[in-house]
């Protein structure tokens, strides 16, 4: 460029300006596309769920499902998977004899997939997949609950479960333990580990700790 030519200098300046703007436009376009994929494909149905409560879809492995079912062996009554994904845990529970079996899920694609899997397995009428926000369903009649959720929401879930569940209910958590509860039993190692919590035991434990605290002999 001729340093002394003001016309040429201005043209280069405009070029640079456009370059900066161009990068901004590409960045904005990419973000918009990423958001559209997130909102439209991965998290549709979650518009009304606060961001801090949104948990993405990561299906349980075969081993994780087997471990969940081991901790539910010999039990009966209503079984619910909170955030049922493609419905695999609900189907496994039905095969193990649970009735009724319900999956709550907000993602409409996953609900369609769950219903397809149930139809293919010949039990479309036997299991139920409902488009409901797990934070808004009442769980008072559930005797068996499974959750594969993110650690960030588990402390809130503990409060909901304690408020609503009867003493006979068993809660199974996969991938992450419930942060403040003592498990009754566990199965598996590493990523395949699952934890079982009996609500009656959890309440009893809390009472014991509260009494000991009031008497000045806290349980460590
Ligand atoms: C980690 S995946 C587990 C899926 C399934 N339970 C499994 O183990 O294969 C969590 C699922 O919960 C669903 N989910 C997250 N928040 C939810 C909410 N508030 N109400 C209903 N479903 C929700 C997600 O769409 C996702 O499918």
The domain segmentation of the chain, as residue ranges, is: 6-42, 62-208
For residue 42, how far is its CA from the centre of ligand 1 (angstroms)? 11
- Supply φ then ψ for residue 176, to 5 degrees: -130, 140
pLDDT value at residue 218: 72
Residue nearest to atom 9 of ligand 1 (CA): 59
Q: What whole-number distance in Å separates Cα of residue 167 and Cα of residue 219?
A: 22
DSSP 147: E
Q: From the CA of 175, how far away is ligand 1's center (Å)?
A: 13
Convert the pLDDT of each residue in 14-64 to its tens digit. 565 556 777 777 777 776 666 665 565 556 677 777 878 888 899 999 999
**Nearest atom (ligand 1) to Cα of 107:** 25
pLDDT at 140 over 90: yes
Best CA proximity match to 193, nearest among 219, 212, 168, 174: 174
Mean pLDDT of 70-91: 98
- pLDDT above 50 (res 1): no
| Contacting residues for 208 by C-beta, under 8 A, at least 6 apart | 219
Q: What is the pLDDT of residue 53?
A: 83
What number of helices (H) and strands (E) belong to the chain? 6, 7
Q: For residue 101, how far is the Cα from the chain centroid?
A: 18
> DSSP string covering 11-56, please?
HHHHHHHHHHHHHHHHHHHHHHHHHHHIIIIISTT-TTS-GGG---
Distance between CA atoms of residues 97 and 74, nearest Å: 9
Verify whether ligand 1 is closer than 6 Å to residue 88 (CB atom): yes
* Whether pLDDT at 93 is above 50: yes
C-beta separation of 170 from 145 below 8 A: yes
Question: Residue 129 in 3-state DSSP?
Answer: strand
- Strand pairing report for 144-147 and 101-104: unpaired
Class of domain 62-208: alpha beta
Between CA 150 and CA 148 the distance in angstroms is 7
Give residue for tokens 């958590």.
173
CB 111 within 8 A of CB 105: yes
Sign of CA dihedral 109, 90, 170, 163: positive
188 phi-psi bin (left φ>0, alpha ψ -120 to 50, beta other): left
**CA 35 to ligand 1 centroid distance, Å:** 19
pTM equals 0.82
What is the Å distance from ligand 1's center to 106 Cα?
A: 8
pLDDT of residue 76: 97
Residue nearest to atom 6 of ligand 1 (CA): 84
Q: For the segment 144-198, what is each residue's pLDDT rounded down to a tens digit?
A: 999 999 999 999 999 999 999 999 999 999 999 999 999 999 999 999 999 999 9
61, 85, 135, 172: which to mutate for ligand 1, most atoms within 8 A of CB?
Answer: 85
Centre of ligand 1 from the C-alpha of residue 85, in Å: 5
- Residue 110 CB less than 6 A away from ligand 1: yes
Cα 33 off chain centre by: 24
- What's residue 152's pLDDT? 94
Q: Is the CB of 145 under 6 A from ligand 1?
A: no
For 109-126, write each residue's pLDDT tens digit.
999 999 999 999 999 999
């Amino acid at each position: 460029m001729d340093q002394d030519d003001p016309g040429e200098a201005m043209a280069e300046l405009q070029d640079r300006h456009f370059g900066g703007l161009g990068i901004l436009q590409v960045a904005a376009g990419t973000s918009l596309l990423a958001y559209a994929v997130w909102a439209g494909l991965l998290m549709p149905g979650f518009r009304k769920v606060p961001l801090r409560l949104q948990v993405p879809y990561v299906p349980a492995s075969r081993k994780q499902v087997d471990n969940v079912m081991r901790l539910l062996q010999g039990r009966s009554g209503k079984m619910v998977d909170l955030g049922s994904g493609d419905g695999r845990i609900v189907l496994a529970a039905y095969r193990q004899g649970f009735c009724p079996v319900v999956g709550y899920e907000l993602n409409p694609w996953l609900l369609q997939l769950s219903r397809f899997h149930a139809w293919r397995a010949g039990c479309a009428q036997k299991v139920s997949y409902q488009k409901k926000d797990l934070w808004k369903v009442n769980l008072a009649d559930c005797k068996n609950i499974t959750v594969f959720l993110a650690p960030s929401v588990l402390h809130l879930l503990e409060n909901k479960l304690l408020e609503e569940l009867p003493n006979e209910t068993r809660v199974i958590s996969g991938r992450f333990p419930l942060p403040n509860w003592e498990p009754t039993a566990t199965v598996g190692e590493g990523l395949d580990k699952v934890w079982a919590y009996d609500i009656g035991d959890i309440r009893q434990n809390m009472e014991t700790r509260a009494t000991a605290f009031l008497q000045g002999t806290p349980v460590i």
